[in-house]
Amino acid sequence: MKSQSHELSAAGISFIISTVLITCIVDTMALDYRTIRYVETVGDVMRLHYTDGKRVDCFPDGRGRFLPRAANSGTPPGTYEPWEPPEEPTDPPPPGSWAHPLEGGTVTSGFGYRWGGFHYGLDISTTTAAVGGPVRSVADMVITRAYDAFEGGNESAGTYVKGHTLDGSYTMTYAHGANETLLVAVGQTVSAGTVLFTEGGTGNVTGTHLHFEIIQGSWDDPWAPPYNNGAVFLDPLPILRANGVVI
């Protein structure tokens, strides 16, 4: 009985190696930006926590996108799928003490991947005019930051307010208020429903709206990655609904 030998040519070996490398690179690039629940900072690495419990370590690129944690990983996916407002819950939310941040507003952009980057909050708008409705505190909270764009507000957030709930569970950011409409000050404790400022279009925006963020825990001045210094940003929509806000 003759033994059979199989020899691979140099070209065959090269093909196999190339195929394996390409497969590995494609696998590491398979970041799903649309089902990220929240983002955590672990040293120099950003850990993406997904709604299905999966966790992926990666590096921020400074523009709200993430580079998979692998050598020669290439560019994150650049496709954009328009965000669609979620369906209304089939059951009414339970009664709660939280207030709607912008009554009569429409959710125009949700938490998640959009326009080649990641959006760390919820956008709500009542109008296309320069000035809209009153922006209210969602919960009882202590004000930690309050700046009017007219008096030197942030170039990105414009007129904005930040504060944490009295129990320290959440920190909230309200941004893009109209000029000279700020009604609260740092150190003040406000109740749910208190008007903070008027909806506007200051800062880096494309239209009049409220940008609303919820951060886990108590923070004085949290900012979105890569400047978050460990702050974990959460999807505001389910948290609002769980606390009785019809949105």
DSSP the chain: ---------HHHHHHHHHHHHHHHHHHHT---GGGEEEEEEETTEEEEEETTS-EEEEEE-SSS-EEESSTT--PPP-------PPPPPSSPPPP-S---SSTT-EEEE-SEEETTEEE-SEEEES-SSSS--EEE-SSSEEEEEEE-GGGT-BTTTBEEEEEEETTSSEEEEEEEEPTT-----TT-EE-TT-EEEEBB--SS-SSSBEEEEEEES--SS---TTS-TTPPEE-HHHHHHHTT---
Reference 213, options 225, 202, 201; nearest CA is: 225
Q: What is the reported pLDDT for 43?
A: 63
Higher pLDDT, 152 or 161: 161
Q: What is the reported pLDDT for 118?
A: 84
Cis peptide before 92 (omega within 30 of 0): no
Asked if residue 73 has pLDDT above 60, the reply is: no
User: Judging by beta carbons within 10 Å of its beta carbon (0-12, 13-18, 19+), is residue 16 exposed, middle or buried?
Assistant: exposed
Contact 38, 170 (CB under 8 A): no
Domain boundaries, the chain: 10-68, 106-242
* pLDDT 10s digits, 177-225: 999 999 999 999 999 999 999 999 998 888 899 999 999 999 999 888 7
CATH of segment(s) 106-242: 2.70.70.10
Mean pLDDT estimate for the chain: 75
Parallel, antiparallel, or unpaired: how do β-strands 55-60 and 170-177 relate?
unpaired
Q: What is the reported pLDDT for 47?
A: 73
Total residues belonging to the chain = 247
Contact 178, 232 (CB under 8 A): no
Higher pLDDT, 22 or 129: 129
Q: What is the reported pLDDT for 82?
A: 47
User: Both tokens of residue 144?
Assistant: 């930690």
Contact 224, 212 (CB under 8 A): no
Band of residue 15 on the pLDDT scale cut at 50, 70, 90: very low
Phi, psi of 120 (to 5 degrees): -95, 15
* pLDDT 10s digits, 36-56: 666 666 666 667 777 777 777
Contact 176, 124 (CB under 8 A): no
Asked if residue 63 has pLDDT above 70, the reply is: no
